[in-house]
Amino acid sequence: MADSRSPSRDAVGFATLAGSTGVAGSYAVAGYSPEFLVAPIDDLVVRATPGPIVAWMIENVGEQGHLLHIALSFVIAAGLLSGTAIVGLSVAQRFDRPVIGSGLAGLLAWGLTASLTAEPLLAAGAAVPVAAFTAVGTTPVAARDHDPSRRRALISSVSALAFIGTAIGLRRLTADDTAGGGSEITDDGVATLLQEAEVKSLDIRGDVPGLVSTIEEFYNVDITVFDPELSPGDWSMTITGEVGDDVTVTFDELTDMQTEHRFVTLRCVGEDLNGKKLDTAVWTGTPIEPLLKAVDPEGECGCAMLRAEDGYFVQFPIEALEDGFLAWGMNGRSLPQSHGHPVRVLIPGHWGETNVKWLTEIELLDEEMNGYWEQRGWHGTGPVNTVAKLWSDTVLDNGALEVAGHAYAGTRGIERVEVSTDGGGTWQDAELSEPLPGIDVWRQWRYEFQPDGSHEVVVRAIDGEGNRQPEERSDAFPSGATGWVTKTVSG
Ligand SMILES: Nc1nc2c(c(=O)[nH]1)N[C@H]1C(S)=C(S)[C@@H](COP(=O)(O)O)O[C@H]1N2
Ligand SMILES: [Mo]
């Protein structure tokens, strides 16, 4: 009996169950979104991590890096909610008032979740299970004698697990999922372009994406783990700052404007020389220029800061912005959540970071300012470097070796790709895919030869202005990788 009066192992166990079910409950009502308790905690974890480490993780470790801090954030969230359950359990025991104890735990869990997520209503998702499982732990001591604690612990654990499973399952079933691209865009224009890309894609045996990357293939770079959940109805974008009058555009107004479908390629400044953060899609949207003209920009620097719902921001010249595109569709579907649902920016020929997702604001500036990545030392707002990727080497049935990849030079375009099979001694022209319409699109290349032992293959591109891709090697940081891709292959 004396045992059950101190915060026993029992109490810690029940509190842990209560905390875990609280996290699951929050997930059930909020999903993988900023309203989920773990999201703001994760923001704090990321903010507490030194900037260079975060930047390095996002660019290099990607998903696995996210998993590390997310796991830590889950543990912290469950720990905090367990703390509220411990307080509830202690009060219940001290004053022998189980109802007050579990009510208090629920109230504290609610307060904690509501203040961190700023979502008082959804915070109930965390509070209710915490209160319920605290109540299980506060069942009067008398009852406990008839119910051996081992058995009770087992039953509680099983029901907690069942609750967590149900919460996750329910969420998955009911979630309004735009992950793979939402509703279909029924416009012949898209279908025509997708078909053109298919026809023009080279017949490559190796594992190289076609001229249009699928939504699943298309790379992702995000500064946060939780993508903003913005419905078209909630979305609007304001052009502000050094302008005659602010202008706000709603989603309906935007999609009523002149609609176009464009091939646009994106490449991240942070990728390795032969990395895979280079992809192309058919985007549906409208040109930015008419919107800019309407506000009459008057800033001194001729530059603009673009801001997004996830806290991302990037600054670059208005000149580049004028050529830009506001997209709400990707490969014939509404923009997937991870690519900026409902509206993102596409800036021809510039590094990926200028292509702001979940766009909320264009602020015209008087003075230049650093964007998110520029504050972290990157120089990634200008035009892309020229690159030829060597993404596959395959032995064909006839014994020949096929090497293949994509080449990209932004708005300069790709004129030629040269391949050497003797470490750069001699060069031959690779087969190139027919150019796709558009001013910012990659091309596929392919080269086949009869191997004789081991070969050092080197590839380099020549852009549309006649410039050969520079040979000198540099790392991605801070201005994008340079050099020629080489690979030793044998038949
Ligand atoms: N709002 C927002 N926009 C963003 C980013 C981001 O983290 N948040 N990442 C940028 C970077 S660094 C790149 S390379 C591209 C990647 O776009 P994708 O994820 O659609 O491939 O988006 C850019 N736009
Ligand atoms: Mo990027």
Could you check whether 188-376 and 387-490 share the same CATH topology? no
Domain positions in the chain are 9-177, 188-376, 387-490
Least confident interval from 14-28, 217-231, 346-360: 217-231
pLDDT value for 1: 39
Cβ–ligand 1 distance for 442 under 6 Å, the answer no
Q: Measured from the CB, is residue 357 less than 6 Å from ligand 1?
A: yes
Residue 3's pLDDT is what?
44
**Element spanning 308, H or E:** strand 303-308
Task: Report residue 5's pLDDT band, with 50, 70 and 90 as the boundaries.
Answer: very low
Question: Between the CA of residue 471 and those of 388, 403, 417, what are the distances in Å?
Answer: 12, 20, 14
Token readout for 72 is 């830590």
pLDDT tier, 50 (very low <50, low <70, confident <90, very high otherwise) = confident
Among 57, 217, 268, 408, residue to substitute to test ligand 1 (most atoms within 8 Å of Cβ) = 268
Rounded-to-integer distance, Cα 154 and Cα 41, Å: 30
- Distance (angstroms) between ligand 2 centre and the Cα of 325 equals 18
Q: What is the number of the ligand closest to the CA of 356? A: 1
Asked if residue 461 has pLDDT above 70, the reply is: yes
- pLDDT band (50, 70, 90) for residue 456: very high
pLDDT in tens, 124-141: 999 999 999 998 887 654
Lowest mean pLDDT among 27-31, 136-140, 172-176, 239-243: 172-176
Residue 367: how many other CB atoms lie within 10 Å:
10
Give, as one character, the DSSP assignment of residue 31. Answer: -
Determine the pLDDT at residue 181: 61
- DSSP letter, residue 406: E
- Tell whether ligand 1 has an atom less than 6 A from the beta carbon of residue 276: no
Cα of 319 vs centre of ligand 2, distance in Å, is 20
pLDDT digit string (tens) for 412-437? 999 999 999 999 999 999 999 999 99
Ligand 1 atom, smallest distance to 219 CA: 21
Q: What is the structure's pLDDT at 180?
A: 56
CA of 357 to the centre of ligand 1 (A): 6
* 352 CB within 6 A, ligand 1: yes
CA 379 to chain centre: 20
User: What is the secondary structure of 207-244 as a DSSP string?
Assistant: S---SS--TTTS----SSSS-----TTT-EEEEEESSS
Which residue's CA is the nearest one to ligand 1's atom 7? Answer: 222
Query: What is the per-residue pLDDT across 83-128, written as a single tens digit (0 to 9) for each?
Result: 999 999 999 988 888 899 999 999 999 999 999 999 999 999 999 9
pLDDT-based confidence at residue 333 (cuts at 50, 70, 90)? very high
Establish whether residue 266 lines the binding site of ligand 1, counting it when its CB lies within 6 angstroms of any ligand atom: yes
CA of 345 to the centre of ligand 1 (A): 10
pLDDT recorded at residue 2: 41
Tens-digit pLDDT profile for residues 296-326: 888 999 999 999 998 999 999 999 999 999 9
In this structure, are residues 389 and 485 in contact, taking their beta carbons and an 8 Å threshold? yes
Q: Is the CB of 221 under 6 A from ligand 1?
A: yes
Give residues whose Cβ lies within 5 Å of ion ligand 2.
221, 268, 352-353
**Which pair of structure tokens corresponds to residue 196?**
């053109």
pLDDT at 352: 98
Domain 387-490 sits in CATH at 2.60.40.650
**Which of 60, 338, 357 most suits a substitution to test ligand 1, by most atoms within 8 Å of the C-beta?**
357
pLDDT for 10 equals 78
Give me the mean pLDDT over the 136-155 stretch: 66
**Which bound ligand lies closest to the C-alpha atom of 352?**
1
What is the token pair recorded at 3? 């045992």
Q: What per-residue confidence (pLDDT) applies to 225?
A: 75
**Cα 220 to middle of ligand 1, angstroms:** 7
Q: Mean pLDDT of all residues in the chain? A: 91
Q: What is the DSSP string of 337-349?
A: GGGTTT-EEE-TT
In short, whether 62's Cβ falls inside 6 Å of ligand 1 is: no
* Structural element, H or E, at residue 21: helix 9-30
Does residue 219 have its Cβ closer than 6 Å to ligand 1?
A: yes
pLDDT at 61: 67
Backbone dihedral angles phi then psi of residue 115, each to the nearest 5 degrees: -75, -30
**Per CATH, the architecture of 188-376 is what?**
Alpha-Beta Complex (3.90)
DSSP-based three-state secondary structure for 65:
helix
Distant-in-sequence, close-in-space partners of 120: CB < 8 Å, separation ≥ 6: 110, 114
